[in-house]
Structure formats: structure tokens, C-alpha cells
Amino acid sequence: MQKGYSSHTVDAYRLDLAFFIEYCNKQNVNNIHDVKEEHLKRYIYFLKEKELSKRTVSRKISSLKSWWKYLIRFGVVTHELTSYLETPKLEKKLPNFLSPEEIDGCLEAVKGSVSEERDCAIIELLYSTGIRVSELISVDIGEIDEAREEIRVVGKRDKERIVILGRQAMIAVKKYTHGYRKSHAKVSKERALFINSKGGRLTVRSVQRLFQQISNYIGKEVTPHTLRHSFATAILNNGADLRTVQELLGHTSLQTTQLYTHVTVKKLQELIDKVRF
């Protein structure tokens, strides 16, 4: 696999290839040199028959094509079979985002809990910076510059960037570090900013469970990525240009960032529809 992919991406590719190999074995094709073009055609048909989502089928085909290029590169196989494979066209889904009132609802959802200070800091930080959940749990305590109200994060493919903390996020983080974290960091060498009740680094799964509780409370599905979308939408609506948003989100391609312009245009259209001229 290409160096720099996230562990989640690598795991997904590994499962995709295992799925393909299992399919081949069931077709009595037990050697990579016995794979023919007809086997690949049948495999694609098999994927479509299973009624998998277009996104899943697309990823499985991409995994197979990347793997086959790898095999050719290292001389395992000599014939190209995957170049003709086309991935299904994916429908662009508009990102789901929250209003400021709904953000307040998220904060209300964690009030009174034992980990309120930590959970509020997580919500405020995600909303204020738009960082990914994988970036959030990777942040170390020493990577926050309280004086400059900045935080260093390491994104996809190990790309580093500096993001600015909003006032409310900075207040929440300070309250957390001087309260919950200080009392729960039993292991003095633990560098993680966000820790669990045992003093260890918080996991993605723990954050996902937190947001499931929040979703149940406000009656709407909310994920860490929802706050990322909400951040991008909010700063675009308040005058930020696409290049700025691209840098803040850590997007490699501006095309990825452009999806948010559809959100702001849709919001404007809905507003106009409500007004009678």
C-alpha cells in the first residue's frame, strides 16, 4: 500500500483483497497466475449482485486495481487485467451540518456527566477547528499553544498543519486540562491531550460512543465529521474563501472543498423559497 494511508484505509484495502481472494478460491482459482479477464468480469457482476453500495463497489475495484499494479511492479504477474475496470459513478451527497442552536444542544447533552469537561472540550474543539476525529485523538498536550491559541495536528498522509482555536474552544480546553485531565492523568508520562477515565489516550471508538449519546439526546444523527462539516459551512457563510477552507481542513484537493459551496447555495435557495417577494 502507498505510504501515508491511514490505518483505517489500509485495513479496508486488506479486507477488500481478502474478499477477492476468497471469491477466487470459491471459483477454484487458487493461483494468482490463473486469474483471467473473465474472472474479473464475473467478480464485478458478483459485487453488483450483492447489492453493495456504489461507494463500496468502487473501493473494492480500486483496491483490486492498486494491488494488481503492485504485482506487476514487482514482477509477480506480467499481464495487465484491471485497466478496463471502471468504478461506478458516485452521487455527491451534501454534507450534513448543524446550526449554532444544535451545537448548543450537543453541549447540553453532556452536561452533568462525569466527563463533562472533557466532552465539552471535544465538541468545542471539533466545531472550532474542523479537525478529523483521528487528528483529535492524536493531539498531544504539548501541541497546544495557549498563548497563540493554536494547535498542531497531523492529518492524512502525515501532513502537519496549524489550526486556530476559537475563544470558546480555548476556554473549554483550558478548563478540561486543569480539571478532568489533571485529575485523571494518573500516568505522568501520558502525552495525549484527551484521555479516558483510566488515564490512557482516548480512542476513536470512545469518541463515536460519545456522539451516539449526543445523537440520542438531540434526536438527530451527529458524528465527529458532522462538526467538521458544520465548521466548514459556518466559515464559508461568514466570508471565508475556498482556499482558506481547504488549508484549514487539510484537503489535498480543492475539488473536495468545493462540495461545501453546494451546501451554502442550497441554504440560500431554501431561504429565498421562504421569502415572498
Residues taking part in catalysis: 132, 156, 225, 228, 251, 260
Q: Residues with Cβ < 8 Å from 189, sequence gap 6 or more?
A: none
For the four alpha carbons of 83, 84, 85 and 86, in that order, the dihedral sign comes to: positive
Q: Parallel, antiparallel, or unpaired: how do β-strands 150-154 and 160-164 relate? A: antiparallel
190-219 burial, b at 16+ Cβ within 10 Å, e below that, comes to bebbbbeeeeebbeeebbeebbeebbeebe
Q: Tell me the C-alpha distance between 173 and 145, whole Å.
A: 11
Could you give the CA distance from residue 213 to residue 219 in angstroms, rounded to a whole number?
10
